Amino acid sequence: MSICRYACGIYGTTSLSLIIQRLESLQNKAIKVLFNNAYPNKNVEIIQQENKILKNIKQMINYTLITQNYYKAEYKKAICRPVRNNNNWLMEPLCVNSYGKRNLSYLIPHIFNKLPLELRNCKKYKLKKEIRKWIMKSTV
């Protein structure tokens, strides 16, 4: 898992069919091999829930992007104008195609805008733990 998390910033911006689906199948095979003795004949999803493993590679990518860029101001450009009934607090650049949506300048503000208000301004010691709980509960 640490090797997968290490390169999430790179392969996280690729298309789903190229890398992410392959990595998910490898992750599921590794979970089956590692937990076969402890959980014989159990589904991979049950093993992931009981051991608090992120369900898929996309969740791991989102977790890594949030934790690596939480305190960086590089991609965080606040919306200057007041917008009514809008939870977005970071400006997402306009994207014309799906390649633009895989760019980090779009992806990071997009993920941060989905964070709940408690996690947006969090200065807690256990920030990574709280973000992990939120990602496991939600479908980001």
pLDDT at 120: 79
pLDDT at 9: 66
pLDDT at 127: 84
Q: What is the pTM of this model?
A: 0.76
User: Whose CA is closest to 138, among 66, 83, 32?
Assistant: 66
pLDDT profile of the chain (140 residues), mean per 10: 71 70 82 82 83 82 85 77 63 80 83 84 78 81
3-state secondary structure the chain: CHHHHHCHHHHCCCCHHHHHHHHHHHHHHHHHHHCCCCCCCCCHHHHHHHCCCCCCHHHHHHHHHHHHHCCCCCCCCECCCCCCCCCCCECCCCCCCHHHHCCHHHHHHHHHHHCCHHHHCCCCCCHHHHHHHHHHHCCC
Domain range annotation of the chain: 2-137
